[in-house]
Amino acid sequence: MSGLKKLSALLVLICSHQVIAEEQKQLFFTEEDMLGELPMVSSASRMNQSITNVPASITIIDREMIDASGAITWVDVFRLIPGFQAYFINGNRYGISYHGFGREFPNHLEVMVDDRSIYEPAYSGIEWGSLGITLDEVDHIEVIRGSNAPSQGSNAFMGAINIVTIKPQQESGLHQRFTVGDRQTREGHIRYNAHLRKFDYRVSVNYQHNDGFPSVTSGENPGPLEDGKESLGFNFRGMFTPDIANTIDLQLGFNHNNMGWGDVDHPDEYSKTEFESQYQSLKWNRELNATDTLKLHYYHNKLEGENYVNQGLLSELLTKEIGIPIGPNDVKPFLQANIDPGLNIEDQPFITGFLNTESERHDFELEHHFQLTNTLRATWGAGIRYDRVEGEAIFGHGHDESLTSKRLFGHLEWQPLNQWTLNAGLMLEDNSLVNPIASGRIGVNYHLNDNHTLRLGYALGKRSPTLSEAKEFNADIIDNQLLVAAIRRSDPDPDEERLRSLELGYVAQLPSSGLTFDVRVFREEVRDAFEVYQQLADIGLPSFDPDDHFSVRSNIAKWDMTGAELQLRYQPDNKTLVTAHYGYRDVDSSYITRFEPTISEGSIDNDGPRHTAGLLFNHKFTPRWSAGMNLYHMSDADWRDGNAVNQFVRVDAQLGFNFSIASSKGNLSLIGQNLGEDYMEHGENNVFDTRIYLRLTLELP
């Protein structure tokens, strides 16, 4: 262990003992705190339900848990959840999935912010760097572990996340948080909340900067990884309550993000990328009576990205490739003599990257909640979505591609007896890419008593491809005459992906002792999943490399995943918080890697960890001092779009000090991440070393 690591660990230990010796004042946990209302969730069935009544496995990450973990990034947060894979693709690009395989853009997880989907049709996943909000704005996070397609549609094929932000009514005055630390980390978040009679609003500004991963010191291309980030974001949320029955919620934001982009296996090819994102969301909630509610929600997302990489002049590249000097005037005759006599290409810069990409989404949804009888309630709704994507590097042309999708859904909750809760849900989706699809789920919960529940769930999920998955044609072509590099394209006739899952769950909630325990045993069978096979790049153009192949995306993969997950939260009083989780999975898979000259198969059995586990402990020694430790373990994984990485155990620690000045209050925290040995994140050049941060939080009235 290095001196810095030892110093960090020792500092936390010494200060903790000093706090115990200096202050003995106790904090008391009242009976009201222990026996208060159990948490309610709505993401599983679109109805507010207790955890013991939902038809799926749920994890709730609340504000206290986020603060106790010392989380700096979204990756840190989602490593608190069993069954999740959360990793750094590079310094500021994240891969977050449930039961995933380490893809660059995991595509089976729906992510929402206050019910607004941030799933990007251009990348078939989440661009976390352009999210626009920070961890400091989060009130809690609802996570559905298991297919939530019956509730949220195709993108929730394997699971769903709803990030719920703090409402303006929950705070007053000025809130500020600043973080500085290793890797040139500088972060600032400032928000102001105010209340004007029936209108409550919040304005926030956030800034982030860091240098990404350390420089590469070995291999073929040693040197700095240009994967740093600098971003600036603005958000506004206003809630207008004209009367007791109506609430109007307006949200909007803008984020500008500069970051490094590239393949971790080729650090010398990293390039700067610029993203600009914006969103607008308007929700109207009307209480029709004591039990029935009507909701209307419209939102608009837009993302623009630029990534241009000038590889140099063709003459320079040809000279490097063949080892013979090729002058600017020799390019055309060389290509005609060696590749195709019909080529008419002059010397010019060779530009790669994803060039200019733009995606836009408009979504409108109606949702109606109503009570049928004392034991039966329901939700139904309908929505329409318009996606537009423009990107020459995605589609092979500079024109827009668009898609209109329609959906109709319904959910029932029936409690015929006190011991039983039955749930059923159905989602119907229709677009022009595939035939109409239906996803359904049934759940039966048996309450052994007020504190113990058994759950049996069965789900059929279907997932339509996105625009980019259905119509991608990515290749480097010069002047529409010469194929330089074939990259990836879509099968011309894609189909939907299919999932069948069965789970058995057990939930124990013991409010009097502060204990919550959840176990999930599952089997998931996925068929017609998207994977790529290699096909000779014969597109009717001369090719610089006659043996070049496309990676063709098609419905050629299948897998069966069996496993178990458990999570525990123990909070005996308001001083101590302990959470633990463990996930195990076993995968049996196959997909076709080539059809010609003979059919070849591969597997993704080991493209993800078999075991993940975590333990979080935080204790408030006095009203001013607290300390905690967060451990995370992941077994070996050969990531699908990364490298094979060894198992590791990561140890984070945090020491916090609360203070007050007049009517203002604040917190100063020292956070140490990875106090053990360095380890690799997703790729062998992504070395996560020990990092130390100092965080200051101020709240002014």
What confidence score (pLDDT) does residue 269 get? 85
Q: What is the pLDDT of residues 102-152, one digit of tens each?
A: 999 999 999 999 999 999 999 999 999 878 799 999 999 999 999 999 999
Which strand (E) or helix (H) includes residue 469?
helix 467-471
Tell me: the pLDDT tens digits for 151-174? 999 999 999 999 999 999 999 999
CB 112 within 8 A of CB 163: yes
DSSP one-letter code for 641:
T
**Given a cut of 90, is residue 652 above it in pLDDT?**
yes
Are residues 358 and 389 in contact, defined by beta-carbon separation less than 8 angstroms? yes
Summarised one tens digit per residue, pLDDT across range 241-253 is 999 999 999 999 9
What is the rounded average pLDDT of the residues 10-21?
40
d(CA 106, CA 469): 12
CA–CA dist 216, 461 (Å, integer): 43
Q: Which of 162, 131, 366, 431 is nearest to 256 (CA)?
A: 131
The whole-angstrom separation of Cα 425 and Cα 429 is 14
pLDDT value of residue 129: 82
In three-state secondary structure terms, 401 is strand
Please write down the HEC assignment for all residues of 127-159: CHHHCCCCHHHEEEEEEEECCCHHHHCHHHCCE
Residue 628, pLDDT > 50, answer yes
CA distances from 697 to 72, 109, 640, 658, 665 (A): 14, 32, 39, 9, 8
Number of domains in the chain: 1
What DSSP element (H or E) covers 470? helix 467-471
Looking at residue 132, what is its pLDDT? Answer: 77
pLDDT digits (tens, 9 = 90+) for 479-518: 999 999 999 999 999 999 999 999 999 999 999 999 999 9
pLDDT, one tens digit per residue, over 78-91 is 999 999 999 999 99
What residues make up the domain containing 579? Answer: 3-700
Record the tokens describing residue 379, joined without a space. Answer: 């939700």
What pLDDT was estimated at residue 222?
82
What are the helix (H) ranges across 330-401? 331-338, 392-395
CA separation for the pair 40, 506 (Å, rounded): 17
pLDDT reported for residue 40: 84
Quick one: pLDDT at residue 223?
Answer: 83
Return d(Cα 125, Cα 530) in angstroms, integer.
14
Q: Provide the whole-model pTM.
A: 0.93
State the pLDDT at residue 8: 42
Buried b (16+ CB within 10 A) or exposed e, 340-370: eeebebebeebebbbbbbbbbbbbebebbbe
CATH number for the domain spanning 345: value is 2.40.170.20
The DSSP call for residue 2 is: -
